Amino acid sequence: MPDDIALAQQGDEALMLAYAANNTAAFDVLYARHKDAVFRYFLRQQYSQAHAQDVSTAEELCHDCWLKIIHHRSTYQTTAKFTTWLFTIARHTAIDYFKKKHLQMVETGHEMDEKLNPSQQDDEPNAKEQDQLRQALKTSIALLPVQQRQIFLLKQEGGFSLDDIALMTQQNKEKVKSSWRYALQKLRKGLFDYV
Amino acid sequence: MSDKPELEDVNKDPEKFITALYDTLDKPQTSQTLDDKILKAARACVNDVAPVVKLKKRPAWLKPVSAAAMLMLVATVSLHQIFDPSAPLNSEHYVSESRLQNGDLMAGKALSAAPKMKQEKRKQAAVPMASMQDQTTVAYAPAKERVKAKSKPKPQKNAMKKTYRRDLSELAALSDQLRPTVKHSIAKSQATSAEVAVVELDQALIFSDEEEASSPIVNRVSASAAKSLSVKSQTVEILSIEAFKPLSLNNNRWIYQKQNDAFYFLQLLQKNVAEKKSYRLLKVDFELSGLTQNTLSYGTEVKVRPKY
């Protein structure tokens, strides 16, 4: 038990290094800390009526991502934060998945309007206004272009700054900022009908 | 409705509004099945040790049996050698002799017939071989004669060889006579350069090893080259960093003279002593500041500082 407490007090980087040195208890702590954020990161990438299917896909991606962490544990270096490494792998996993499944959703505004028409979704705006708003947000996020969606979710779920995201995605900082602004504009547009 | 974001903010501050709305979203968690699967994989990967390859052991009975067999073999051979060291190793011959000693002549004859048969066979085989050899010798006889004839030394060739040898010996004697003179001329032409003189010195040393250093010309040239070399090296002193430090403290002036690949040649004007002295400064240790390398010309004042 004292070992578990000591591990729980350690930082992510120390835990990952400990796991690289074959300490499985360190991985348990690390996984418990970040599993939900990674899972939600994958879950929010998509939104469909079949919620169970989304969860299943997210779990599949989550499993792939953590397996990559496990297999490449010896390559981890403390030059960056663990979460940066984790979400970089998660991002690549998601991009690879959507490339394979041809689910890259680069939509036009017309498609968004069609999907987000409140009259088609619910006829009782006052009663379920908040729920509708949340559903609209989920849908809007899922309908964002891949680049903007990645940036939005990395910021929201990973808690990264735009500078960190620029480093992670190896992009120009200004480009990341403009993508962030475009993402917000599109989300605002998607939510406008509900407000 | 306390967690409800202010809807009016969507136009005022969309980032704040969307972030607040995002925080109100449900926060699903991973299933226990997935957790178990990943944690199991993490443990399995760490505990995945390469299986130890166990060598198949030989059966326990094999060792004493093989040892006994080896012992018996050695004992048999050694006993055999002790009791009958003159006995031939050929078992067939040995058996035939023993039987002959016992008086079994037939057996002896029968057994001794085998080598006879072998000899006859060999003879039969030898007859065609011999005839074939005779044929080949007949066929190649003219060629042999031709080779012999060629190998005979002709009187003219012998005479030419003799004159050639005589010429060679004369040339050798002549070269011995000319050798010191040639060396003298070569040395004269090269004595101006110190590096060449060093080479000549080495050559002189080599000659001394070969007991040829007694030549007075070579000695003279080597001495002069060595002298010039020593004069050149003594004139410009190499200045070390340690020696430079006290010189740099006073307001001394450094005048640039020239440079080569390794050294700066500078002249030091010491104000206190009113004295000029030339130094060589290693380029590796010192650098000249205040002027660029392109503007350096003879007589310009430079600032010197050690690189380290």
Tens-place pLDDT, residues B165-207: 776 677 767 666 665 554 554 545 544 444 444 444 444 444 4
Side-chain-side CA neighbours of residue B264 (13 Å): 29
The partner residue sitting opposite A187, judged by closest CB among B18, B25, B30, is B18
ipTM above 0.85, yes or no: no
> Which residues of chain B lie closer than 8 angstroms to A62, CB-CB?
30, 34, 38
Would you say residue B129 has pLDDT above 50? yes
CB atoms within 10 A of CB B60: 7
Q: Which residues of A touch B11 (CB under 8 A)?
A: 188, 195
Report whether pLDDT(B236) > 60.
Answer: yes
Q: Which residue of A has its CA nearest to B49?
A: A22
Q: Which of B19, B27, B45 sits opposite A40 (nearest CB)?
A: B27
When CB atoms are compared, the residue of A24, A36, A137 closest to B43 is: A24
Residues of A in Cβ contact (< 8 Å) with B2:
none
SS3 A159: coil
Question: What angle separates helix A162-169 from helix A82-101, to the nearest 10 degrees?
Answer: 60
Confidence class for position B146, pLDDT limits 50, 70, 90: low
At residue B80, the pLDDT reads 87
Q: Convert the pLDDT of each residue in B261-300 to its tens digit.
A: 888 888 888 777 777 888 888 888 888 876 555 666 778 8
Q: What mean pLDDT, rounded, does chain B reach?
A: 67
